[in-house]
Copies of this chain bind each other. A is one copy, B any other.
C-alpha cells in the first residue's frame, strides 16, 4: 500500500458504521447504473464515503471543494479504486479547479454530493445542460443549505436536495464531541500550553460551546461562558461555569474559543482589555467571530508563527490562531473532526444518497430534511458496532405512553 491507501485504511478501521453500510450496499447495489458526482474535501475520511458509494454500484466522479484541503496521495489512491474517478489536486489554479468540476459534471451525474453547493450552483448556471438527468443531491454545510433554501424560495432550485446537516445525530456528536475534542487538541498541539488551571472563555453555549466547556473543565480549566440568552447563561451557571459579559471575560481569560455563529464576538473593545499572552481561537464555521481585520489594521506589530498570528496592542501581545478560521481544521497540526464522528456524518450522507436513489420520484424540487428514521438507523448501527444493546418498549409500555388516564 502506498501512503494514500495507508491513510484511507487508517480511517476505515474507525468507521464501522460506514463499513456496515458498505456491506449492505455491496449486496443491494442501490446505485447500480447510476453516476454520482461529488465535490468534497478529498482526504482519508471522505475517501471511505466514496468507496462506500462505489460499493453500492455507483460510478463516482469526485473533485475537491477547496484547493487546499486535497491530499494528493489520497486523491491518487481514490482514483485507482474501481468505479471511481478523482480529479482533485492540491494547490490547483482557479482554472484547474473549475475544469475539474466541469469534468465531474461531464459525467452527467444522477446524484450530486456537495460541501458548499459548488456543483449545484454550477448546474443551475453555466452547466444547465446536465440538469436533464439529475434526480437529486445531498448538501452537508449550513451555508450550502441556507443558499439552497433561498434558491428554493425563489422557485429556482430544480431538483430535490437532502440537507445532511441539522439532524440530532449531527448536533449531538459532530458538535458536542467532534468540535469539543478537536478544538482543544488543536489548541494544545499548536500552543504547547497547559489547560489545567487556566481561565478558558467559551463564547456561546450552544452544542459546540457545551462540548468545549465540559471537556476543558474535564482537563482542569476554569471555564467562563459568555452568552446573549439568559436561559442558556443560567444553564451554564448551574453546570458550574462562570457567566459574565465578554468585556469582563476579556480581562480574565487565558484562552478564548468562539462558537456563536455570529460576528465580532471578540472585537476592538475586547482586544484592548486582554491580558498579555492571551490566545484567541474560533471553533465556529466562519472566520467572522473574532475581528481579525481590525487587528491586522491596527496592531503596532504583527508576528507570524506556524498557525499563530501575534499582535502587539498597547504594549501587550495577543495571539490569534489560524487567522480566526475553524481552529481544528486550519492550524497546521489540525486534522479536522475525529474519525468516529465523521463516520456518523458520512453514514447520514450515504443513507441520504440511497434515499434519493430510491425515493426521488416522491420528492419535489426543494430542500428536504434527512428522514428521522435514517438518523435513528445510524445511531442503531453505531450501537451495534459497539456491541451495545438497548431496551425495547413492551406493548403494555407503548400503551401506557399514549394513554394518560392510566396511572394518574
Contact A237 B383 (CB under 8 A): yes
Residue A221 lies at the interface, judged by CB distance under 8 Å to chain B: yes
Do residues A185 and B189 form an inter-chain contact, with CB atoms below 8 A? yes
Give the CA-CA distance A294 to B181 in the complex, in Å: 34
Task: Find out whether the CB atom of B335 lies under 8 angstroms from the CB atom of A228.
Answer: no
Q: When chains A and B are docked, how far (Å) is the Cα of A239 from the Cα of B172?
A: 10
- Residues in B with CB closer than 8 Å to A386 are 237
Inter-chain contact A217/B220, CB cutoff 8 Å: no
B218 contacts A219, CB within 8 Å? yes
Interchain CA distance A276-B392 in the complex, whole Å = 26
Please give, as numbers and ranges, the residues of chain B lying within 8 Å of A230 by CB-CB distance.
376, 379-380, 383, 390
Which residue of chain B has its CB nearest to the CB of A6? B305
Stretch at the interface among A106-114, A356-364, A395-403: A395-403
Binds B, one of A59-67, A85-93, A156-164, A240-248: A240-248
A189→B242 CA distance, assembly (Å) = 26
The reply to whether A394 and B264 form a contact with Cβ atoms under 8 Å apart is yes
**Cβ–Cβ contact B228 & A219, under 8 A:** no
Q: Which of B195, B235, B240, B242 interacts with A217 by CB under 8 Å? A: B240
Contact A407 to B233, CB < 8 A, known contacts A177-B220, A341-B194: no
Interface centre among A181, A196, A221, A340 (most CB of B within 10 A): A196
The CA of A262 and the CA of B173, in the complex, are separated in Å by 27
The stretch among A24-32, A48-56, A127-135, A142-150 that forms the contact with chain B is A142-150
Q: Which of A194-228 contact B (CB under 8 A)?
A: 194-197, 215, 217-222, 226-228
- Given A335-B189, A335-B192, decide whether A217 and B218 contact each other with a Cβ distance below 8 A: yes
**Residue on B nearest A240 in the bound complex, by CB:** B220
Q: Known contacts A6-B303, A233-B383; is A220 also within 8 Å of B193 by CB? A: no
B193 touches A234 (CB 8 A): no
Shortest Cβ distance from residue A88 to the other chain B in the assembled complex, whole angstroms: 20
Q: Which residue of B lies closest to A177 (CB)?
A: B196
Across the interface, do B193 and A392 meet the contact criterion of CB distance under 8 Å? no
A257 touches B (CB below 8 Å): no
Which of A193, A218, A305, A380 counts the most chain B CB atoms within 10 A?
A218
Q: In the bound complex, what is the Cα–Cα distance between A290 and B194 (angstroms)?
A: 27
Establish whether residues B172 and A231, one from each chain, have CB atoms under 8 Å apart when the complex forms: yes
Contacts of A333 in B (CB 8 A): 189, 333
CA distance A400 to B288 in the complex (A): 10
Pick from B215, B237, B335, B396: contact of A264, CB below 8 A: B396
CA–CA, A305 to B181, complex, Å?
23
Q: How far is the CB of A19 from chain B (nearest CB, A)?
A: 11
**New contact pairs (5) apart from A237-B388, A288-B400, CB-CB < 8 Å:** A147-B408, A177-B194, A231-B379, A244-B390, A263-B400
Which A-B residue pairs are the 8 nearest by beta carbons? Answer: A218-B218, A194-B338, A230-B379, A146-B404, A194-B340, A220-B240, A185-B188, A230-B380
